Amino acid sequence: MNSQAKLPIGIFDSGIGGLTVVRQIHKVMPHEDLIYLGDTARVPYGTKSPTTVVRFACEDTQFLLRAGVKAVVVACNTASAWALATLQARFAIPIFGVILPGVEAAVGQTRNQRIGVIGTSATIRSQAYRKAILARSEAVKVYERACPLLVPLIEEGWIQHSVTLSVLHEYLEPLLRHDVDTLVLGCTHYPLLKRAVRSVVGKNVALVDSAQTCAYYVREQLADAGLLNTRRRQPGLIHPHVTDDAERFTAIAGRFLPAPMAPARKVHLPPMGSEC
Amino acid sequence: MNSQAKLPIGIFDSGIGGLTVVRQIHKVMPHEDLIYLGDTARVPYGTKSPTTVVRFACEDTQFLLRAGVKAVVVACNTASAWALATLQARFAIPIFGVILPGVEAAVGQTRNQRIGVIGTSATIRSQAYRKAILARSEAVKVYERACPLLVPLIEEGWIQHSVTLSVLHEYLEPLLRHDVDTLVLGCTHYPLLKRAVRSVVGKNVALVDSAQTCAYYVREQLADAGLLNTRRRQPGLIHPHVTDDAERFTAIAGRFLPAPMAPARKVHLPPMGSEC
């Protein structure tokens, strides 16, 4: 075990969606301490431009590095889509995104070579999923759809609401008409809608949960690098940080995380220089 | 006419919603030059905390002051609700919000003394409308409802969509059961949904458009202060500025503003010191 292995894993997202990744990472690596940063003062990232998303992601990563993490997980599809390469070039620490693990799972699961991808406007505009899928298999056809209303519906708590089902029908029917047999839930909020999505797509479409696939991927990568914390017996601690007030975060966080966590701390992110 | 009268009016909002105010101000004061700032990198404000909204509003106002405006219009209900008093105390220039004009219109229009107010979560949580209405007339009953899905629906372009009508039914029915005869559209995005709201509330409920009432109020206040630009013959110019990339802004702005405007410029807002 590497001497760095005892350090916490850093995880960031634009807001609370990344807690689905925290949940899965805590499940598959229960001994790891986790430092979470939700950039709730500037949420969402999914409607913003690439330049702005890259700037925010650099500031988030810088914060986690200063907090002494051994690796960073970009628990946000939008930031993974636009900023991962820049972060990996800029910071000397392992940095993992959510897109690659989801792509590998989808390509492994499809039988008819027709994969659907849903995500925020920015994620879909980036074509990050399409490019990564086609890089693995040119035979696959990829059908994408931006679903900008799903995050607000989840944050409103309308998880099983008839309006949410109508919105899902409108968003997903064009993908179903293309006969996709695998659907990537390409936003870390979406696992909360899994049951509603299932009721719209039926039982023959495989759902790829990018939070879950990411957790397995990170465990594998950390193990390969000797960075897994294998020595501790007790469960790891989850330390959440937010850039807006902690109150609303704590209220909503319960929907994402069944495990108890420390109260969220409000932090200020100093802007990066021009280098990022 | 005061020597400052030739200067432009500054208007800011968290994003694009404030363009409904720009539209109305341009309509009732066609000779005024307008400098608009949409804080699109950090939009929305309506889901953020008071402290964060005040900080953002101070930075927005500082930017407009440095651009040389004669007055500032806070074209955002959330920022008006939480930050107006701080801005007025901090900056030595006339600063107007959207809430007071809407309140005066609503109190003037109600016949049965039952007023409904809809807005973002932050605006409703502030109770700014309730307090301002009750300060004018203790006899009025105020029924409020946060409608966090309306802004995302408008930005998705689902203005007359059946989903939007379902959402409006869900949000507005409790207010209608209280027999309100006047409904304040307490968010600068909402005038775009006027027709859909009308179809849900029927023709006997008066709709108060806070963008429109604000424009008349600002004209009156500027005239009283000798700050109206009465000398120019040609129409004033609209100069939009945004904190995220200008492209998406320009694409959506057309839905708000029929008048042509200059291309939006991307700007960087330096953070305020601790004084705000």
Detail the DSSP E strand segments found in A17-165.
34-38, 71-74, 95-96, 114-119, 141-146
pLDDT at residue A249, rounded to an integer: 87
Q: Are residues A141 and A197 in the same domain?
A: yes
CA B74/CA B14 separation, integer angstroms: 10
Residue B133 has pLDDT above 80, yes or no: yes
Tokens of B17: 């919603």
CA A183/CA A151 separation, integer angstroms: 17
pLDDT higher at A253 or A224 = A224
Q: Are residues B92 and B221 in the same domain?
A: yes
Which of A40, A155, A163 lies at the smallest CB-CB distance from B163?
A163
CA A36/CA A194 separation, integer angstroms: 23
pLDDT band at residue B255 using 50, 70 and 90 as cut-offs? confident
Q: Are residues B170 and B229 in the same domain?
A: no
Question: Domain tally for chain A?
Answer: 2
In a domain? residue A276 = no
pLDDT, tens digit (0-9, with 9 covering 90-100), for A182-222: 999 999 999 999 999 999 999 999 999 999 999 999 999 99
Q: Which of B58, B147, B187, B214 is the catalytic position?
A: B187
pLDDT band at residue B276 using 50, 70 and 90 as cut-offs? low
Residue B256: give its domain's CATH number: 3.40.50.1860
CA B118/CA B176 separation, integer angstroms: 12
Q: Measured between CA atoms, how close is A47 to chain B, in angstroms? A: 9
Q: Are residues B194 and B104 in the same domain?
A: yes
Tokens of A257: 């995380």
DSSP B6: G
pLDDT, tens digit (0-9, with 9 covering 90-100), for A144-184: 999 999 999 998 989 999 999 999 999 999 999 999 999 99
Which of B48, B163, B248 lies at the smallest CB-CB distance from A49?
B248
pLDDT at residue A155, rounded to an integer: 86
In a domain? residue B93 = yes
Domain boundary pick from A210, A241, A257 = A210
pLDDT higher at A80 or B262 = A80
pLDDT at residue A228, rounded to an integer: 95
pLDDT at residue B228, rounded to an integer: 95
Residue A260 has pLDDT above 60, yes or no: yes
pLDDT band at residue B240 using 50, 70 and 90 as cut-offs? very high
Contact B167 A162 (CB under 8 A): no
Alpha helix (H) residue ranges in A147-209: 150-155, 162-177, 194-201
Q: Are residues A84 and A187 in the same domain?
A: no
Residue B235, Cβ neighbours under 10 Å: how many? 12
- In this structure, of A10-24, A85-99, B53-67, B226-240, the range with the lowest mean pLDDT score is B226-240
Which of A41, A47, A149 lies at the smallest CB-CB distance from B153?
A149
Give Cα B157 to chain centroid, integer Å.
19
Average pLDDT over all residues of chain B: 94
- In this structure, of A103-107, A149-153, A227-231, B89-93, the range with the lowest mean pLDDT score is A227-231
Q: Are residues B57 and B93 in the same domain?
A: yes
pLDDT at residue B259, rounded to an integer: 67
Q: Are residues A156 and A180 in the same domain?
A: yes
For residues B26 and B217, the answer to whether their CB atoms sit within 8 Å is no
Residue B181 has pLDDT above 90, yes or no: yes
Which of A49, A50, A163 lies at the smallest CB-CB distance from B166?
A163
Residues of B in contact with A170 (CB under 8 A): 163
**Domain range spanning residue A259?**
3-97+212-266
Cα-Cα-Cα-Cα torsion B69, B72, B78, B79, nearest 10 degrees, comes to 70
Average pLDDT over all residues of chain A: 94
CA B113/CA B140 separation, integer angstroms: 5
Contact B245 A271 (CB under 8 A): no
Domain boundary pick from B188, B210, B232 = B210
pLDDT at residue A270, rounded to an integer: 84
Write a three-state SS string for B38-72: ECCCCCCCCCCCHHHHHHHHHHHHHHHHHCCCCEE
Residues of A in contact with B249 (CB under 8 A): none
pLDDT at residue B81, rounded to an integer: 96
Q: Measured between CA atoms, how close is B82 to chain A, in angstroms? A: 14
Q: Are residues B108 and B200 in the same domain?
A: yes
Q: Say what the ipTM of the complex is.
A: 0.90
CA A41/CA A267 separation, integer angstroms: 10
pLDDT band at residue B2 using 50, 70 and 90 as cut-offs? confident
- Mean pLDDT for A37-49 is 95
Q: Active-site residues of A: which are they?
A: 76, 187
pLDDT at residue B252, rounded to an integer: 78
Q: Got the DSSP string for A214-256?
A: HHHHHHHHHHHTT----S--SPPPEEEEESS-HHHHHHHHHHH
Residue A117 has pLDDT above 80, yes or no: yes
The secondary element (H helix, E strand) that includes residue B95 is strand B95-96
Percent of chain A with pLDDT over 70: 96
- Mean pLDDT for A20-44 is 95
Among B106, B107, B75, smallest CA distance to B207 is for: B106
Residues of A in contact with B152 (CB under 8 A): 148-149, 152
Residue A259 has pLDDT above 90, yes or no: no
Residue A254 has pLDDT above 80, yes or no: no
Residues of A in contact with B248 (CB under 8 A): 47, 49
Percent of chain B with pLDDT over 90: 86
Q: Are residues B88 and B65 in the same domain?
A: yes
- Mean pLDDT for B252-269 is 83
Residue B137 has pLDDT above 70, yes or no: yes
- In this structure, of A261-275, B10-24, B164-178, the range with the lowest mean pLDDT score is A261-275
